[in-house]
Amino acid sequence: MKALHLILFFLICSGQANSQETSPISKSTKQVLFLGNSITYAGQYITYVETYYRLKHPESSIEWINLGLPSETVSGLSEEGHAGGAFPRPDLHERLSRVFNQLKPDLVFANYGMNDGIYKPLDDLRFQKYKDGILWLAHAISTMGAKGVFLTPPIYDPAKGEAYANVLDNYSDWLLSKSYTDHWDVIDTHWPMRKFLEEKRKDDPSYYLAKDGIHPGPTGHWLMAREILFFLGETEVSAYEEFSEAIENMPNSKGLLELISNKQAIQRDAWLRSTGHLRPGLNEGLPMEEAQKKISELEKQIQSLLN
């Protein structure tokens, strides 16, 4: 696997590999769901995706739902003493059936891997747990009749630890291999982020995408959103290093971004409350009926900016 990810990194850096194929959203798509850990829960990349997509397709009525959960894994693993011993990492297996009982997404984006190696060096048993979890999730998505799209995990900053950066290199390469062996839809966010970071550090060795090595800031979230949007057919986004550049000539874009960010946060918290989870310490969402009223009010304001 190490040889494979070195080859992929060389191809991306040399511009000889197409970073992503495209698969525009079908006209029948009504609901898009994002699953993942704290990076997805933070949701900035999802806000960027919905904002840009709606600016380009103001007639769209697609519902974009963030159900990321901080600390979560798809592998079911948790390191000893996680969160100071307060609680083990939540496991997607515990809640997915409730999510799919209440939501009926047509398209599911899954973003796992960052926590699944539990911040230890590469290990075959832990790697297999990640593979098993992803395979289980792919089957669950297919069984409920949705299209699954898997994101390679964002990078762990090598400056914070080469060993764990290598773990995510390997997890990403395995996931990318599924697009060739099993024709999965896989979006590579990992290697483009790695390339971007390496290029920036040539001029500024102190540059970072994630201050803690894990949770990306706005630029990192844009790099993720950019690959998703490219996959959805918005190929022009490749020209922009920042989200602000991508929307600067679009009317009402800043106001729209703020409204969509507020809407997604209310919606996320309400659905997490409704579907349930075992992760302590999160803001309690509104009851769904109350949340839907607020979401409807925000949607009216969003539509007024799009019209």
Q: Are 186 and 152 in contact (CB under 8 A)?
A: yes
Give the CB-side neighbour count of residue 206, counting CA atoms within 13 A.
0
User: What pLDDT is recorded for position 12?
Assistant: 46
Per-residue pLDDT at 75 exceeds 70: yes
CB atoms within 10 A of CB 181: 7
In a domain, 260, yes or no: yes
Q: Dihedral angle at the C-alpha atoms of 279, 268, 228, 260, nearest 10 degrees? A: -150
How far is the C-alpha of 233 from the C-alpha of 110, rounded, in Å? 19
Per-residue pLDDT at 246 exceeds 90: yes
Region 254-273: mean pLDDT is: 98
Could you tell me what percent of the chain has a pLDDT over 90? 92
Confidence of residue 17 (pLDDT cuts 50, 70, 90): very low
Per-residue pLDDT at 248 exceeds 60: yes
Torsion sign (Cα): 191, 196, 202, 204: negative
How far is the C-alpha of 62 from the C-alpha of 43, rounded, in Å? 17
Q: How far apart are the first and last CA of the chain?
A: 50
Q: 306: which 2 tokens?
A: 């799009």
Number of domains in the chain: 1
In a domain, 141, yes or no: yes
In a domain, 6, yes or no: no
Helices (H), 75-211: 92-102, 124-143, 162-181, 190-203
In a domain, 211, yes or no: yes
Region 58-65: mean pLDDT is: 96
In a domain, 11, yes or no: no
Within 8 A by CB and 6+ apart from 44, the residues are 218, 221, 225, 261
Give 280: exposed, middle or buried? Use CB within 10 Å, 0-12, 13-18, 19+.
Answer: exposed
User: What pLDDT is recorded for position 3?
Assistant: 46
Per-residue pLDDT at 159 exceeds 80: yes
Confidence of residue 16 (pLDDT cuts 50, 70, 90): very low
Region 91-99: mean pLDDT is: 98
| 218-224 long-range contacts, CB within 8 A, separation 24+ | 218/44, 218/242, 218/243, 220/154, 220/193, 221/42, 221/44, 221/45, 221/48, 222/45, 222/48, 222/246, 223/189, 223/192, 223/193, 223/196, 224/45, 224/151, 224/154, 224/189, 224/193
Secondary structure of residue 61 in the 3-state scheme: coil
Confidence of residue 21 (pLDDT cuts 50, 70, 90): confident
In a domain, 291, yes or no: yes
Q: What is the CATH number of the domain that holds 266?
A: 3.40.50.1110
* Residue-range definition of the domain harbouring residue 166: 26-306
User: What pLDDT is recorded for position 38?
Assistant: 98
The Cα angle at residue 60 between residues 70 and 242, in degrees rounded to 5? 55
How far is the C-alpha of 226 from the C-alpha of 189, rounded, in Å? 9
Cα→Cα distances 257→39, 47, 67, 271, 288, Å = 18, 7, 19, 21, 23
Region 111-134: mean pLDDT is: 98
In a domain, 70, yes or no: yes
201 Ramachandran zone, left/alpha/beta (phi>0; psi -120 to 50): alpha
Per-residue pLDDT at 15 exceeds 60: no
Mean pLDDT of the chain: 94
In a domain, 17, yes or no: no
